[in-house]
Amino acid sequence: MTAVAGAHVRLVDRLEASGALTPDWRQAFLGVGRHLFLPDLFWVSTSDGYERCDRTENPERWLQLAYSDAAIVTQWDDGADNGQREPTSSVSMPTMVASMLRDLDVQEGHKVWEGGTGPGWNAGLLAERQGAHNVVTVELDPAVAAQAAANFRALDAVPTTVVGDAADGYPPGAPYDRGILTCSVREVPPAVIGQIRPQGVLVLPFAPLFGGGAVARLTVAGATAAGPFTGSSAFMRMRQQRYQAPPVDDYLPGDWPGGAVREFTDLSPLGVVDDWLASFVVGLAVPDLYYRRSDGGDMTTLWLFDTGVTSWATVDFVDGAGRYEVRQSGPRRLWSEVEEIVRWWVKAGRPGFERFGLTVAGGAHRAWLDEPVNLLPSVKG
């Protein structure tokens, strides 16, 4: 067995042993090598930032990372090389790929739409399992789509690859039995829902504006889609849904703190935003809320804003403090809204991702706990 084949089999074995990879997907994963979708130069996230790996310099390390359970960055800054160093295309973590395909529950003959081709590994797996004629994948970035098309040439089954906006779905191939997004959204595109057959399934990473993220498994019924979250996720945002915040001066003309009311809280602001689950719950309940943080010396300031540009708040975190200074301004009390939903969540026993769900209807998104009738506090009524 070659080094590549050995690394490939070991990864598939690990995924199956963990439960992420179900037996019906094993042959597809064995039939499509992950290394075929990776460039010679890529980056892997570590606790210290990103590790650069060049195949020409260290082929052994390159192969090791290619078959590791880690997401691999293949593009920065939409390919603009503008120095911002934001990852904008990747090959996803194998555990996440396997678990989302498990959630998709494809059956023989199902036609599948994918939004966000990236380098193409996920679409390649689908084509291997379903047959190329049953898979359509859409990629917005022409350069990324071209690279995926080149990667697909190493496969026996090549899916239909479209350069276009995933938010539009792909009407010429509709309707689809299954749909999957490989980029996160804060609003589920209605066009995509409309192209899934009744009782079809749409799997996607849902990431509220405030923070956190989880995979949603939605069952479609006409223009409505509803279902539970199945676990935590962290994906790059769909490009069209990246939020461009207005300048702070639009909220606070003049010097801080303006006419803001001074208060105190015993809820740690970093205890909220640094907790992936807690920030996700806040984001579900208050979808128009976002924050920025300012770190300086011994204090971190959390700035809260609403997308309607009506209100703002600040919370100052000092390590070891029992209380934290709050300033709130505008018709809404944004930090009070955060406190309310966190108190509700704690009182409910800190339920995890899998107990929450989402209903999308008529463009509205309603989050719930356990059952669709149990709406989160701030979305009731």
Q: Would you mind telling me the total number of residues written for the chain in this entry?
A: 381
CB 121 within 8 A of CB 39: no
- How many CA atoms lie less than 13 Å away from 44 in the CB half-sphere? 18
- At 311, is the secondary structure helix, strand, or coil? coil
Q: Establish whether the linkage from the previous residue to 257 is cis, with ω within 30° of 0.
A: yes
Active site residue 294: no
- φ/ψ region of 297 (left if φ > 0, alpha if ψ in -120 to 50, else beta) reads left
Phi, psi of 256 (to 5 degrees): -70, 140
Distances (CA, A) of 127 to 130, 155, 260, 293, 325: 5, 9, 57, 43, 55
Token pair of 371 as six digits = 């059952």
Active-site residue (options: 18, 45, 68, 92): 92
Judged by DSSP in three states, 195 sits in coil
Answer yes or no: are the C-beta atoms of 219 and 227 closer than 8 Å. yes
CA dihedral for 185, 201, 38, 10, sign (positive or negative): positive
Q: What residues act catalytically? A: 92
